[in-house]
Structure 1
Amino acid sequence: MIDQTHVEALYDCDVIDNKGEKIGSVKRVWLEDGTGKPMWAEVHTGLFGMKEHFVPIQQGQVAGGAITVPVSKEQVKDSPSMNTSDDHMSDTEQEALYRHYGMIPQAKTGDHDRLDGKQAAGQRGRQATGQQATGQRATGQHAQREAGDAAEVTLSEEKLDVGTRQVESGRVRLVKHTVTEQRNITVPVTHEEVRVVREPVQGDAARTGKAFADEQAEMTLHREEPVVQKRTEATERVRLEKDAVTEQKDIKGEVRKERVEVERDDEPRSRR
């Protein structure tokens, strides 16, 4: 419930209806004469905030720079217009607002009661004292809101928002070094060998040689030897490339959530 301690934070607050829709922003706060309790908020509505409507705020809830009221946006748009040029609201104007929102004032307290249908007609005879406007600001938080015979609490729970971030997992490098190894290669080589050929002398050839004289004949023999030479040539290229591999990982985390229990004071609790 909103009281004088919240008035400082109400000015320029967003006004939210009972369905969570924004109605507008608070321009002025109207207080009850005598008690100074905040009763109505003069709210700017419309696309450019040019329209003004009165919204009951005593049963509202202030949180996070906004005030939530137990009426709908449609009710506010259809509310009667007020002539408040002298910063004062007459009893007739108040009664018109109470009738529109289905409320009655409790005498000299400024409290609002919700009315249902025919019940409202017999109880609207009560009147509230006059009300004045103030331009003070407002803030504050309430965990529970009561509107007439309804009470509610807001439950919250934590959710896990899981994302990814890139971290360094390791490094891979290519290092080239020289090793020596033994190779065995078979190479064919050729060499010359001497062969003695004997054949009979015939005809005139028999008279060409010198008989009983020392002679010699000579022949040069050849052979092949393996010759080893080294040459350098490129055999292959080696490089490193990266591939992105996606895998599934299970993430565990603890979250908190709120639960609500109903306790009754009019009945004894049973034990198991």
Structure 2
Amino acid sequence: MITREEITMLLDHPVYDGEGHKIGDAKHVFFDDMTGRPEWVSVKTGMFGSNESFIPIHDATLVEDHLEVPYRKDQVKGAPNVDIDAGGHLSASEEHRLYEYYGVNWDNVLSDDGMSGDGGMGTDTTTTDTTAAAGTAGVAGTASVAGTAGYEGTGRRSLRDDDDAMTLSEERMHVGVERRETGRARLRKYVVTEEVQQIVPVRHEEVRVEREPITDANRDAAYAGPEFTEAEHEVTLHEETPVVETEAVAVERVRLTTEEHVDDRTVRGQVRKERIETEGIDLDEDVRRRPGRE
């Protein structure tokens, strides 16, 4: 059983089930108004701690830096939602409903608290100290809450008996990011055939008949043979034709890389804050009485 002295080591620390699964973090501890013993712990569960579940800690154990409870994680997360009154109390009906959900015998709980089975669990409206002993006015009070900071928030009771101040609490939204796959890209190489065209100059030979008159310069060559004879002369013609060859040439290297771009996205959520309201105080008059005010 958890003692009052262990509460400060419990708040804001992890809570695990009997199989070693983390359920959440302990946020508040509720005490019995008559005995002052811890009865319940509230645990933030769900995404970003959006839900608060109640767990009996009568059979819980504080192990090093965390609390172990004999209930499964899914059982705790499925616990019924309960309302806390303005005084930071669980009503008897709400507490009874929670005990029934967890399979805890209501009569055994009353017996362990030193009360008769027919005494009931009424709301204590007289005592203001969570360490009040049995015999304080009223029947056994329902559980009152201790805040995570060790002081009381609005309507909650403080763990310090000599402190009459209220501590205001508020929820802070913590937004994280997760990395997920959005798609895939790949490189695939394949071969295509395309027509190319190029102009290439080519040469060829043609026959041309040249005639020259007999002159003193060529007269001897002209009269060198017989006067009348038969003869023939052959000339070989040539031309150029295009010849096509291909060769594989590396032209570039291609690879896939990724680059990150940062976009701003607005994330909206709901957080709760505690506020103070006063009764029986003239705030305007109080402000006028402050030093430095007329």
TM-score range, shorter chain: 0.3 to 0.5
Tell me which protein shows more strand as a share of its residues.
1
Task: State the TM-score, normalizing by the size of structure 1.
Answer: 0.42
Greater relative contact order (Cα < 8 A, sep 6+): 1
Larger Rg: 1
Task: State the TM-score, normalizing by the size of structure 2.
Answer: 0.39
